[in-house]
Structure 1
Amino acid sequence: MTEEEMRTLHSKINTGVKAAIAEAIERHRKLGQSISIMQDGKIVTLTAEEIPTIQSQHLENKSR
């Protein structure tokens, strides 16, 4: 595989992982479930009300 093909593949994987994470976080928020995140080197649990709304092109397209 060439260097350019590797960069393209890496970019596609990175985009897919970010979209999956955004969907999981949004699902937790909508279902009223908490999530735990790393913040300032510490694990912090956010209630569903504290989870910020994630605006993602992928999520907007999926809801159409």
Structure 2
Amino acid sequence: MTEEEMKKLHCKIDAGVKAAIAAAIERHRKLGQSISIMREGKVVTLTSDEITAIQNQQNS
């Protein structure tokens, strides 16, 4: 596999992982479930309302 093919494959994998993560987060938000994330080296649990707030900040 050439380096260019590897780069293309890497981009496809990266996009797929990001889409899967976004879908999982959105599912938790819709179901009213919390998620745990790393923030400044510590585990933080976000409520579904906090997930919505973060998504709104990122979309602004």
Q: What TM-score, normalized to structure 2?
A: 0.86
Q: Which amino acid aligns with 2:9?
A: L
The CA distance in 1 between the partners of 2:45 and 2:5, in whole Å, is 39
* Unaligned 5+ runs, structure 1: 57-64
Query: Sequence identity, in percent?
Result: 73
User: Partner of 1:62 in structure 2?
Assistant: none
Q: What TM-score, normalized to structure 1?
A: 0.81
Aligned length: 56
The CA deviation at 1:25 is: 0.2
Q: Which runs of 4+ in 1 moved over 4 A?
A: none
- Larger RCO, structure (CA 8 Å, separation 6 or more): 1
